[in-house]
Amino acid sequence: MSNSLVTAGIDIGSTTSKAALWIDEQLGPYVIGPSTTNPRGTARECYEKVLELAGLQATDVAYIFGTGYGRAKVSFADENISEISAHGKGARFLLPSARTIIDIGGQDTKVISLDAHGEMIDFVTNDKCAAGTGRFLDFIARSVGIDVKDLAGLHASGSYQPVTLSSMCSVFIESEVINLVNDEVPLNSIIQGLHQAVATRVAALVKRIGLVQDVVVTGGVAKNAGMVDELERKLAIKVKTFPDDIDPQIMGAVGAAIIAMQRYLKQNNK
């Protein structure tokens, strides 16, 4: 692979950290792991793992971009970039028809609008409130004694009869959900109602920016089929999905790696 152009993207998020390689205009290996209280060490660990997967040395990588909340802690990166730009770039390259990207991350939700050429033209975020994020869903799941990975299965079980949740504040909704459980309301209806409440909040962000198809969901919550189902109901569209071999959680790292490739080529007049 000595003649290949290899670039890397390191995405240090609030709950997970990712590293991806972009090799000769296509996606190479990638890794996903938990974020820690030592983002510098986590970034280095992710990078070393992805290099090992590719059978490469650090000297084989032409350029590195950091992104995510901890991007400034990627000490070995050549540059860093906002996760908004990185997610837009990654999603567009891996799904060329994408025009609206809904990124439901651990700490916030972002909606990114792209023009016909794939350039970002606008974005909105709910970064001032935890409701409607991956961490929010995880918190409520643990409150009723289930794993967040089981939400999709519970959503799809039984009939579709979502309860209406009156609050989206993490503290109040926890009490509301626990009361519903104590009242013996079917758990699948509670989970459907939870997904519906989150989807309503996300749909409001989409409407603020203007819905343009195709729409794609990225971030860890994109792997929750129940959440995607509710988004489709609220937006009255079919959400586009990535191929099965591409994890929607890596869009930030992929976008950073692609931007690193573009920067390297520009600097070297190639």
204, 257, 214: which is closest to 78 by C-alpha? Answer: 257
What does the pLDDT average to over 1-14? 89
What does the pLDDT average to over 137-157? 92
For the cut 80, the answer to whether the pLDDT of residue 155 exceeds it is yes
CATH topology of domain 1-95+244-270: Nucleotidyltransferase; domain 5 (3.30.420)
Those residues whose C-beta lies under 8 Å from the C-beta of residue 62, and which sit 6 or more positions away, are 5, 6, 7, 260, 261, 264
Return the pLDDT at 130: 67
Q: Where are the domains of the chain?
A: 1-95+244-270, 98-241
For the cut 70, the answer to whether the pLDDT of residue 172 exceeds it is yes
Q: Which residue has the higher pLDDT, 17 or 244?
A: 17
Return the pLDDT at 167: 74
Tell me which CATH homologous superfamily contains domain 98-241: ATPase, nucleotide binding domain (3.30.420.40)
Please state which of the ranges 28-32, 106-110, 154-158, 191-195 shows the lowest mean pLDDT.
Answer: 106-110
Model confidence band, residue 2 (pLDDT cutoffs 50, 70, 90): low
For the cut 80, the answer to whether the pLDDT of residue 212 exceeds it is yes
Phi, psi values for residue 129, rounded to 5°: -145, 135
For the cut 60, the answer to whether the pLDDT of residue 4 exceeds it is yes
Return the pLDDT at 241: 85
Model confidence band, residue 126 (pLDDT cutoffs 50, 70, 90): confident
Return the pLDDT at 159: 93
Model confidence band, residue 174 (pLDDT cutoffs 50, 70, 90): confident
Please state which of the ranges 27-31, 125-129, 149-153, 189-193 shows the lowest mean pLDDT.
Answer: 125-129
Q: Say what percent of the chain tops pLDDT 70.
A: 96
Return the pLDDT at 143: 87
CB atoms inside a 10 Å sphere around CB 214: 15
Model confidence band, residue 135 (pLDDT cutoffs 50, 70, 90): confident
Q: Could you tell me where the DSSP H helices lie in the chain?
A: 39-54, 83-94, 134-143, 151-156, 170-182, 187-209, 225-235, 251-267
Return the pLDDT at 270: 73
Number of residues written out for the chain: 270
For the cut 80, the answer to whether the pLDDT of residue 160 exceeds it is yes
Those residues whose C-beta lies under 8 Å from the C-beta of residue 203, and which sit 6 or more positions away, are 231, 234, 235
Give residue-wise pLDDT tens across range 59-91.
999 999 999 999 999 999 999 999 999 999 999
Q: Give the C-alpha separation, 265 to 270, whole Å.
A: 5
For the cut 90, the answer to whether the pLDDT of residue 173 exceeds it is no
pTM here is 0.92
